[in-house]
């Protein structure tokens, strides 16, 4: 089935990247594709399929061909010059690739979930992709390890998705078109999006509320696709977000909606994709803080902010809000940043993600200066249940 596009009506929201919001959700019956060769998708590829078909990855209509793949790796742009920083590919083994030409049924756990019209096959340049996209060839990097584990052949071509998988969070799982509908219904003229794969703590809350002084609405858009094994599970995180928003945020100015992407941990390069896709969801602003999408010590503290200087505001179509590291200062008695606090580190309360997980595993309480009590309780219960 051919891909269609939704042309945006006259409105104040940013136009999707490329001018149109891709819609390749076919609503066809799986039985219609029973005669086709099949390819079982990984969790990441299934997430990419949804993001492609619902327009989150507009202007992409399918998995990248070789020319775009090479251009994205080298220039952070599609071949036509459109900003794009991470190759969205469909990797398979050489043995699998042999029988995959033309229309192929895509399956998840054996069930048909979509199709790809395979128009091209090409060899992945894994080492080069690792160096340029992840800035390291070290297999200790979670994203590089996943790249090395993939098949060596990439399939390219337009895709369709049979239905949107609402998954674990049906109340919060919205397509870009659906998020745009909510934004319009609420009359928001400006929207700041916030990406997170971690439970929200007081430093995040501080950023949100500073941003809400500037814009009409906050799109809290947590990533709920595949993450590292030691990251807090998505279900626990979403429960914590619900508690926090219910008690500490203005309901009329916030929207919790999940982002189904898998985490690549590509740091600066991933920050660009996170911003561009949020433009497609209708956001006008995007928060980039300390070590966005990073892992370990592979990236500089503010590399994910600096990389946006490679593009003009007109190209990005979304305003980047750059924030420095924020923390609770015991002498100031509030959340601050290096820009606003005169005290040295001995006055500051900061906890790394690793330290937070250690405290939770040990059954220790998280200080209220670090996170709200309701959030701390959700995390404490989740870790206690996991330990049983």
Catalytic residues: 197-198
Instruction: Please check whether residue 276 is in contact with residue 270, taking contact to mean a CB–CB distance below 8 angstroms.
Output: no
CA count, 13 A, side-chain hemisphere, 345: 3
The alpha carbons of the chain give a radius of gyration, in whole angstroms, of: 21
Calculate ∠ Cα 93-144-286, nearest 5°: 115
Instruction: Please check whether residue 260 is in contact with residue 222, taking contact to mean a CB–CB distance below 8 angstroms.
Output: no
- Can you tell me the distance from the alpha carbon of 375 to that of 368, in angstroms, rounded to the nearest whole number? 10
**Inter-helix orientation angle 373-387/353-361, to 10°:** 60
CA distances from 263 to 166, 240, 272, 293 (A): 18, 20, 13, 8
Tokens of 154: 């990439």
Got the DSSP string for 273-300? Answer: HHHHHHHHTT-SEEEE-TTTT--TTSS-
DSSP 229: T
* Other beta carbons within 10 Å of 103: 16
The owner of tokens 């010590």 is 297
Tell me which residue of 245, 264, 242, 261 sits closest to 253, measured CA to CA.
245
- Can you tell me the distance from the alpha carbon of 305 to that of 116, in angstroms, rounded to the nearest whole number? 35
Kindly give, in sequence order, each residue whose CB lies less than 8 Å from that of residue 210, ignoring residues fewer than 6 positions away: 323
Q: Can you name the residues that pair with 90 across neighbouring β-strands?
A: 155
- Can you tell me the distance from the alpha carbon of 335 to that of 326, in angstroms, rounded to the nearest whole number? 7
Tell me which residue of 305, 56, 82, 309 sits closest to 177, measured CA to CA.
56
């Amino acid at each position: 089935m051919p891909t269609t596009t939704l042309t945006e009506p006259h409105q104040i929201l940013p136009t999707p990247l490329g001018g149109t919001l891709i819609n390749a959700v076919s609503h066809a019956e799986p039985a219609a594709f029973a005669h086709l060769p099949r390819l079982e998708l990984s969790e990441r590829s299934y997430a990419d399929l949804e993001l492609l078909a619902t327009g989150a990855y507009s202007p992409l209509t399918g998995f990248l061909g070789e020319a775009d793949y090479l251009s994205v790796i080298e220039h952070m742009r599609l071949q036509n010059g459109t900003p794009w920083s991470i190759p969205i590919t469909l990797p398979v083994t050489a043995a699998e690739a042999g029988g995959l030409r033309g229309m192929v049924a895509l399956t998840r756990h054996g069930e048909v979930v979509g199709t790809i019209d395979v128009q091209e096959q090409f060899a992945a340049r894994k080492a080069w992709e690792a160096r340029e996209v992840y800035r390291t060839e070290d297999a200790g990097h979670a994203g590089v390890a996943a790249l090395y584990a993939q098949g060596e052949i990439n399939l390219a071509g337009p895709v369709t998705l049979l239905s949107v998988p609402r998954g674990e969070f049906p109340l919060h799982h919205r397509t870009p078109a659906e998020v745009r509908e909510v934004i319009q219904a609420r009359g928001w003229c400006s929207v700041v999006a916030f990406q997170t794969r971690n439970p929200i703590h007081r430093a995040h809350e501080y950023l949100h509320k500073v941003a809400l002084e500037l814009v009409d609405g906050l799109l809290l858009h947590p990533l709920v696709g595949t993450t590292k094994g030691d990251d807090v599970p998505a279900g626990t995180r979403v429960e914590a977000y619900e508690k926090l928003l219910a008690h500490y945020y203005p309901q009329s100015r916030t929207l919790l909606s999940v982002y189904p992407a898998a985490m690549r941990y590509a740091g600066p390069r991933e920050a660009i994709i996170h911003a561009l896709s949020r433009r497609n969801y209708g956001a006008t602003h995007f928060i980039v803080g300390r070590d966005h999408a990073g892992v370990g010590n592979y990236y500089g503290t503010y590399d994910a902010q600096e990389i946006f200087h490679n593009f003009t505001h007109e190209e990005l179509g979304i305003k980047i809000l750059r924030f420095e590291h924020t923390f609770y200062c015991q002498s100031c008695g509030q959340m601050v940043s290096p820009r606003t606090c005169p005290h040295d580190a001995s006055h500051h309360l900061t906890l790394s993600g690793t330290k937070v997980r250690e405290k939770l595993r040990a059954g220790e309480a998280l200080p209220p200066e670090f996170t709200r009590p309701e959030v701390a309780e959700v995390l404490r219960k989740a870790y206690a249940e996991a330990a049983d």
